[in-house]
Structure 1
């Protein structure tokens, strides 16, 4: 059997239709697919790669993520980077097969709304990045199951409002999100974040040391 590197990068390469090209290559732990002009998440590309812990699929043209489309990715994955893919829809329980996932990056897509069960099953998630989307609405309970989340970034979105208790119960240490918020509103949104070290709320910075101050 020929030798395969533990990390593979396919940048600008046409992989459309590739089905199980690395079946039983158990030395592969990381795969990066960038700028491949994919119109759909390449489900079958990941078939049979049992020891993957890192996956990046970025710079593509697909709009939907679902549990089915991600079903060939190893359950042991730790890092999943899905940036710049024009994603508008993440179906319920899309990531629920990944109990060991710690880092989920969804920046620079086209999401407009975050809903409950979108992130269900992510029992180990520590970092969630949703910068640069078009999010206007976050439904109550969206983040409620992310009990190990420590870092969340929602910068450069289009928030119109946020539920009062949207961050309640989370152990966040760092939190940032965009919007035109008053200092009072920022304080109320961060009120129950007992572990917060540093936060950015629109033009307001909140930290343990300084309480609140304008940028």
Structure 2
């Protein structure tokens, strides 16, 4: 590892941690809260002429009302395949089709379902934290190798490891805030 790689270690680590947090938040958007959000269905894979295709690539998804999603396929012949994929997705939402547009009424969540969704969110958050910790471990290893290679002094290594830990703590704190916000959103009626 060269001097320039060491100087890029923290910015790269910060970028990777931000990507891990963003992926987790995107997954949170797909968790149903009783409000219509296109993110609920956009990642569903539809068998479109034998190829698994994301719903967002096959149709226009919108939320014209707070408790309704509409899905208008670009190819009307895909309506049945989309309907089948939504039913198979275990969202707990039955689509209504008029042959051209699918409507998904979003029902109220039961208390039991809300608690299950909170557990799902916390599980995903824990996966995000593990990803952040793995990034920290890799950055620490790179810093220690650079120190052994003579590119860093002992003091520089200590400061770099402290900075890596601060970035890790900040990312985990951000994840905890996101979880608390999503939990509050899920548990509010």
Higher strand content, 1 or 2:
1
Larger relative contact order, structure 1 or 2 (CA cutoff 8 Å, min sep 6): 2
The TM-score range, normalised by the shorter chain, is under 0.3
TM-score, L = length of structure 1: 0.22
Higher helix content, 1 or 2:
2
